[in-house]
Amino acid sequence: MTEKLKLNTPAYEKLLAHLVDFEERRTQIVDLYFPEFNKHRKEFEELLDNYLSAVDTIVKNVVLSDETNNDFPFVCLNSEVEVEDVEEQETYSYRLVVPETGRTEGNCITILSPMGKALLCRKEGAVVSVNTPSGVYRYRIKSIKLR
């Protein structure tokens, strides 16, 4: 049985609106960034399908509460994620977004970036490996907040 998640009403309403909006725009987003049918498109579609399924499960198991800090069980879009570089022990904070939002403030990263793909749907405490042109970096997820 899935564990219940406590969220305040505004956070729950934002999450529900996000789920509905993202389900409606899923195909449009995939077509925009991966117009050709290939391996990368298939991987991105699987990533989005897993994400939507996970968010849907959470929405069905929310308990509304005013006494919550809006911790979230996994990294989702618009969540604020604090990570620690495993090697350097430096801490960074990111907000995960879709590229079309055009957000550049507040250390936003997109779900198309290597970091964004590595973090999406991962849980607090997980160590993720991020493959970049300059090498592989490992980060531990310290906290996830729904904003």
Each of the 147 residues of the chain gets a pLDDT tens digit; together they read 467 888 888 888 889 999 999 999 999 999 999 999 999 999 999 999 999 999 999 899 999 988 877 788 899 998 999 999 999 999 999 999 988 765 556 689 999 999 999 999 999 999 999 998 899 999 999 999 987
Is 81 in a helix, a strand, or coil?
Answer: strand
Residue 117: the pLDDT is 92
User: Using CA of residue 15, residue 74, residue 142, residue 134, what is the dihedral sign?
Assistant: negative
- Which residue's entry shows tokens 């991105």? 44
Q: With contact defined as beta carbons under 8 Å apart, do 11 and 72 qualify?
A: no
Residue 132: the pLDDT is 87
DSSP class of 71: B
